């Protein structure tokens, strides 16, 4: 953890390892594969690959990075897409990511960059390839801490879910204000009836003017009054509020910082307090990890001196997901990336 998408030439990334979308013969090819060989030193890298070839589809092999900034190159053989064998292709692609991560872990790597495997000349539909990549990486990171990057050279090589993007686009069209043409109070008043109508069973609590609402997915209103009261303790340090929220929501520290896509070091800094208040994107990442409702999120932001604004496309996009009870931070980041917005979580430097 964490996992980020970045628009970058993978051959220039100073991660511990980069992944080459390889063929099973581990021969130099075109596209990203060819660029990696050229940047590493084609003769040296090919000799190292020859000693390991062939591998099977879904497998991976590791070589030195030679002249690359990365220490290692992991060669992952993804499938050539076959519409008649979709499930087999999915298993092989998932395996290519998992086997690459296993090799990286075995060699002590703390950071790794992937291309979107099989989505080029191998013909894997980009939207589906992205889903498999996210699921495989997310599953692996649940058990091992590593910085993972999905390196995208340009927008044509990346494709988030069209259905999801259409829903987000519709929400943006309805709520995004290009400039402060309406007051925040007016905007909240306009959207609250729709939010309340969608919440079943609805629970509106009043304590010091803050309203908390539990969505139907929550099943029961667990400790809602306690959360409402907690978020009103404006004189309490942010770290105290966060720790109490974690307890109230019945989550662990590890679960929260992993789901927030932040590393343990930053979470420890937030947790210990000492006057430190995280930035707005980090607080929103924590709100997603804690599965806060929209009113709870706004109250938590207020505790740190922030607010959601409909003059910010970033805010509107995050608001859409939280308001709809959708808390997969990687999916949120895919949409933010598509709209050229900052991503949620603690994005480390890769060089």
Domain ranges of the chain: 3-157, 162-338
pLDDT at 271: 86
pLDDT at 350: 56
In the three-class reduction of DSSP (H, G, I as helix; E, B as strand; rest coil), residue 49 is classed as: helix
Placement of tokens 């929260």 in the chain? 256
Q: Residue 214: is its pLDDT beyond 60?
A: no
Q: Residue 247: is its pLDDT beyond 50?
A: yes
| Interval 160-203: pLDDT, tens | 778 888 899 999 999 998 754 444 444 444 444 444 433 332 33
pLDDT tier at 272 (50, 70, 90 boundaries)?
A: confident
φ and ψ of 212, to 5 deg: -115, 140
Residue 207 forms beta bridges with which residues? 210
Structure tokens at 255: 């679960």
Task: Note every long-range contact of 163-171, with CB atoms under 8 Å and residues 24 or more positions apart, other chains counting.
Answer: 164/331, 164/335, 165/335, 165/338, 167/320, 168/317, 168/320, 168/335, 171/316, 171/320
Best CA proximity match to 18, nearest among 40, 43, 2, 48: 40
pLDDT at 62: 98
What average pLDDT does the segment 260-280 reach?
87
pLDDT at 349: 59
- For residues 178 and 89, the model is more confident at 89
What average pLDDT does the segment 7-27 reach?
96
| Interval 22-39: pLDDT, tens | 999 999 998 889 999 999
pLDDT at 273: 73
Lowest mean per-residue pLDDT among 31-40, 172-181, 219-228, 266-275: 219-228
pLDDT at 165: 86
pLDDT tier at 47 (50, 70, 90 boundaries)?
A: very high
Q: What is the Cα–Cα distance from 144 to 149, expressed in whole angstroms?
A: 15
Q: What is the Cα–Cα distance from 328 to 351, expressed in whole angstroms?
A: 27
What average pLDDT does the segment 97-121 reach?
96
What average pLDDT does the segment 6-13 reach?
93
| Interval 291-302: pLDDT, tens | 999 999 999 999
What average pLDDT does the segment 98-107 reach?
98
In the three-class reduction of DSSP (H, G, I as helix; E, B as strand; rest coil), residue 293 is classed as: coil
pLDDT at 252: 94
Q: What is the Cα–Cα distance from 317 to 281, expressed in whole angstroms?
A: 12
| Interval 138-159: pLDDT, tens | 999 988 889 999 998 766 656 6
Q: pLDDT over 70 for what percent of the chain? A: 80
Neighbouring residues of 48: CB distance < 8 A, sequence distance ≥ 6: 63, 64, 66
Exposure b/e, 216-253, CB count within 10 A at least 16 = b: eebeeeeebeebbbbbbeeeeebbebbbbbbeebeeee
What average pLDDT does the segment 197-225 reach?
37
3-state secondary structure 148-201: EEEEECCHHHCCCCHHHHHHHHHHHHHHCCCCCCCCHHHHHHHHHHHHHHHCCC
Residue 330: CB atoms within 10 Å? 23
Peptide bond into 21 cis (omega under 30): no
pLDDT at 192: 45
pLDDT tier at 315 (50, 70, 90 boundaries)?
A: very high
Domain 3-157 class? Answer: alpha beta
């Amino acid at each position: 953890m964490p996992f980020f998408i970045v628009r970058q030439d993978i051959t220039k990334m100073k991660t511990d390892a980069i992944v080459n979308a390889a063929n099973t013969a581990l021969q130099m090819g075109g596209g990203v594969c060819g660029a990696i060989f050229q940047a590493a030193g084609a003769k040296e890298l090919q000799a190292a690959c020859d000693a390991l070839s062939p591998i099977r589809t879904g497998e991976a092999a590791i070589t030195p990075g030679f002249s690359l900034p990365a220490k290692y190159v992991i060669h992952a053989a993804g499938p050539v897409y076959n519409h008649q064998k979709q499930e087999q292709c999915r298993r092989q692609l998932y395996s290519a990511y998992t086997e690459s991560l296993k090799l990286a872990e075995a060699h002590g790597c703390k950071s790794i960059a992937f291309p979107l495997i099989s989505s080029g000349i191998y013909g894997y539909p980009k939207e589906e390839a992205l889903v498999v990549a996210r699921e495989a990486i997310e599953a692996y990171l649940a058990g091992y801490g590593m910085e993972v990057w999905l390196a995208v050279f340009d927008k044509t090589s990346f494709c988030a879910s069209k259905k999801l993007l259409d829903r987000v686009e519709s929400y943006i069209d309805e709520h995004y204000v290009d400039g402060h043409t309406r007051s925040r109070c007016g905007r909240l008043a306009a959207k609250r009836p729709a939010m309340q109508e969608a919440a079943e069973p609805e629970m509106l609590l009043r304590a010091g003017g803050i309203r908390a609402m539990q969505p139907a997915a929550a099943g029961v209103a667990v400790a809602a009054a306690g959360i409402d009261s907690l978020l009103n303790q404006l004189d309490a340090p942010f770290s105290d509020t966060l720790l109490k929220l974690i307890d109230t929501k019945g989550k662990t520290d590890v679960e929260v910082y992993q789901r927030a896509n932040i590393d343990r070091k930053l979470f420890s800094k937030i947790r210990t307090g000492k006057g430190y208040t995280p930035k707005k994107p980090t607080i929103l990442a924590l709100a997603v990890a804690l599965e806060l409702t929209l009113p709870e999120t706004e109250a938590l932001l207020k505790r740190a001196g922030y607010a959601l604004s409909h003059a910010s496309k970033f805010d509107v996009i995050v608001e859409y997901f939280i308001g709809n009870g959708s808390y997969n931070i990687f999916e949120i980041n895919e949409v933010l990336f598509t709209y050229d917005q900052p991503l949620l979580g603690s994005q480390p430097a890769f060089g």
